[in-house]
Amino acid sequence: MKRLLIIFLFIATQFAFADEQDRFKQANNAYAEQRYDSALEIYSQLIEDGWQSAAINFNTANCYYRLNSIGKAILYYEKAKALSPDDRDILANLKLAEAQKIDKFEVVPTPAFTRIFRSILSLFSNAMWLTIGLILVFLSATALTLFLVSQNKSTFRFGFYLTFGVLGLLFLFLGNLKVNQEENNQLGILTVANVYVKSEPENGEDLFIVHEGSKAKIEETFNGWIKARFPDGKTGWLQAESFEAI
């Protein structure tokens, strides 16, 4: 009975995957025929069904760009970039879309130490930092255990094995630090034509206006409102429905 259930689940998964591939091809054909609304509808449905990839986000962004929805285009280019950071087509189209934004923020300079530290963290993904760390700690613990039961207790060998452990702990620390930074550094894109940023939710004073495609860091959420920090350092509140997280 269990074997039959496994076979059934496998077949069902294959059919579901084949259906998604067929719909993806349909969307690609619609895009090639310049039926951008139809292509976007299919891509959006696939995303709602849980299919996530750099390709589908990239194609969705292309549809929005063709339909002159710059904010949504930038949002989905950013989503594609998050999944494939070095893809040249994604980076080129994102740059093209960003060139059409109205707002040009003067970015607050980042201290040199922070830039260097971020560069170090970007060398590996979260999973890679943590995996390497666990492997090094395991190897160190195993080697130290064998060292303690061996007859040859060389100080050099002890220090060498201990260094592996220290490096492993360092990798684990950096991996966890990167995870925490990404969780606390959620970015979003303004997807409406424009909106006034307020000093506080609901009845706050209008501080300044931002336009479609502007990127900001989400600092806080409250009752349908988002407190956002823009690249020039300015902060304020805007309605959550006008802003979508990357």
Tens digit of pLDDT for each residue in 4-35?
A: 444 433 444 444 445 678 899 999 999 999 99
| Structure token digits, residue 96 | 């093209």
Q: pLDDT-based confidence at 89, cuts 50/70/90?
A: very high
pLDDT for the residue numbered 3: 53
Mean pLDDT on 111-123: 81
What integer is the mean pLDDT of 32-60?
A: 94
pTM for this predicted structure: 0.70
- Is residue 114 exposed (0-12), middle (13-18) or buried (19+ Cβ within 10 Å)? exposed
Contact 246, 90 (CB under 8 A): no
List the alpha helices (DSSP H) in 101-154.
112-121, 126-149
φ/ψ of 182, rounded to 5, equals -70, -35
Angstrom distances, CA of residue 121 to CA of 81, 124, 175, 239: 17, 6, 8, 33
User: Is pLDDT above 50 for 77?
Assistant: yes
Structure tokens that stand for 149 in this block:
């039961």
Please give the pLDDT value at position 21.
84
Length of the chain: 246
* CB contact at 8 A, 242 and 132: no
Whether pLDDT at 39 is above 50: yes
**pLDDT at 188 > cutoff 80:** yes
Residue 4, helix vs strand vs coil: helix
